[in-house]
Chains A and B, each alone.
Chain A
Amino acid sequence: MSRRAPLHRPPAAAVVVAAVGFAAFFVLPLLGLLERVTWSHVLRDLDDPAVRPALRLSLVCSTAAAALSVVFGVPLAWVLARTEFPGKGIVRALAVLPMVLPPVVGGVALLSAFGRRGIAGRWLDEWFDVQIPFTTAAAVMAATFVSMPFLVVTVDGALRAFDTRFEDAAASLGAGRWTMFRRVTLPMIWPSLAAGVALAWARALGEFGATITFAGNLRGKTQTMPLAVYLTLQSDPGAALTLSLVLLAVSVVVLVLAGRRAFAR
């Protein structure tokens, strides 16, 4: 990366505001957390039988949610960015609804859709004897519900800003629409897609409200790290802090590694 010309550098005042914001909202809460951890108990806390299943489940659920977000979110963003149809504004608004909805309400909404008495869930129950609540699938669905908007918004924005003349050139060389999207469009919006995946994954990792409402809380099955932290907080706040630290460390490592690869170009 080339060195920025002074003209493009933010002025001192902007740097100061950035530093204050960064310190108040990112550094201080983190320091506060670190300061409260009883380091001599960390190993004992990590030995808690709830930790490993919860961590494993968290990684499984957030990764599955990020994958599902790509599978469904990229086509959705593609449609939103490139087609015109009546009610598109409403579709776009609905697609980000989970971002503003309190997650607990999201959980109730998922129950109303896929629960035993839900709009779709009652048929699943009646015809196939399939019940989604209280399963790992429900935890994945809750995580996908809250995280997909992050991917859709990011990719939709990138596609709308994308110069379609590149696609025209590919088409003139005989590329079909799928080939064009795969070989030209996707590589060019790759940083946005990667950022969207990272955001979706991170949001899924921290997901709490929709999960405990829709999937419940059972060790090894639906108890993800945030749920384990929340319940541990009630009986042993010190151990809960240790667990949050683990979650934090895992996410920082993954995001830094992913960020390096995604934003390298």
Chain B
Amino acid sequence: MLVAIVLVGACSGGDGSDGADVTVFAAASLTDAFTALEQRFEASGARIDVTLDFAGSAELAAQIANGAPADVFASADEATMRRLVGAGAVDGDPEVFARNRLAIAVQRGNPLGIRGLQDLARRDVTVVACASQVPCGAYADEALAKAGVEVAPASREDSVRAALAKVRLGEADAAIVYASDVHPRAGGRDEDVEAVEIPDDENVVATLSIAVLKDASDRGAAREWLRFVTSTEARAILVDEYGFLAP
């Protein structure tokens, strides 16, 4: 499997003829927001071609540790970023560019009347959460512990988007996801799900950080993307349009 990852990575590497290529590995929860940021960045006249690759933060970190050709890494939590820093894969210090909270994704119209984490313990509610190995799963465990609720999820999914998809597909009644994943304005086409808020005293704050990697093919270009993501312009998009919290 690792061999395959490295081979596939080598194929898509490409050394870029004119202008620079920056490959960004980003947490699944950033899928919509970073796609929008990329368009804004490239429209702003930067001669940099950004390629985005989304997956669970932990999976991406594992790929980077095994030599995947990424230039920038954006993590959904600090623990995963710290692991990469500890492995000596990061150039400079990671920068926090946004925060996130948890929310409960339910079917549109909330047919089961789910009002909070307590309701997820109900026997008629099929719940999915992320696996504890990925950030959203660790946060979910933390929030459930804070709320003092024992929940038996039907499945522990490999990324926050996979958990959300189970609700979208109608297989699960509720999923513990990031607030940004179910932000009313995110994507703008979410007819299937809506959000139930989790109060502050039961919620956790996820810290999203971004860093340029040591093995980046063009650190200057990579740093330019990092500067854009941490700019006030990008922050406005992240907060106003995609439901993240300011850092």
Contact = CB atoms under 8 A, between A and B. Distances in A.
B108 to A, nearest CB: 13
Interface residues of A, number: 29
Interface residues of B, number: 26
Given A115-B169, A244-B1, A217 B58 contact: no
B3 A29 contact: yes
Interface in A188-243: 212, 215-219, 222, 229-235, 237, 241
Interface in B167-205: 169-171
A126 to B, nearest CB: 13
Contact of B133 (A108, A215, A231): A231
A214 B157 CA distance: 11
Contact of B171 (A134, A217, A222): A134
B58 A235 contact: yes
B128 interface: yes
Given A115-B171, A216-B128, A237 B155 contact: no
Given A36-B2, A117-B170, A218 B134 contact: no
Contact of A133 (B1, B58, B62, B171): B171
A133 B128 CA distance: 12
A213 B184 CA distance: 26
Contact of B170 (A33, A115, A212): A115
B131 interface: yes
Q: Of B2, B58, B66, B162, which is in contact with the most chain A CB atoms at under 10 Å from its CB? A: B2
B46 interface: no
A237 B65 contact: yes
Contacts of A131: 126
Nearest to B134: A234
Contacts of B153: 218
A134 B158 contact: no
Contacts of B156: 216-219
A187 interface: no
Contacts of A212: 157-158, 162
Given A234-B133, A237-B66, A216 B154 contact: yes
B56 interface: yes
B95 interface: no
* Chain A to chain B: the 10 pairs with minimum beta-carbon distance, closest first: A216-B155, A234-B58, A134-B154, A117-B170, A235-B133, A234-B133, A133-B171, A234-B59, A231-B133, A115-B171
Given A133-B171, A134-B126, 11 more contacts: A29-B3, A134-B155, A216-B128, A216-B166, A217-B155, A233-B1, A233-B62, A234-B133, A234-B158, A237-B65, A241-B2
30 contacts: A32-B3, A33-B2, A33-B3, A108-B169, A111-B169, A115-B170, A116-B171, A117-B171, A131-B126, A134-B126, A134-B154, A212-B158, A215-B155, A216-B155, A216-B157, A217-B131, A217-B155, A217-B158, A218-B156, A219-B156, A230-B158, A231-B131, A231-B133, A231-B158, A234-B56, A234-B58, A234-B59, A234-B62, A234-B134, A235-B58
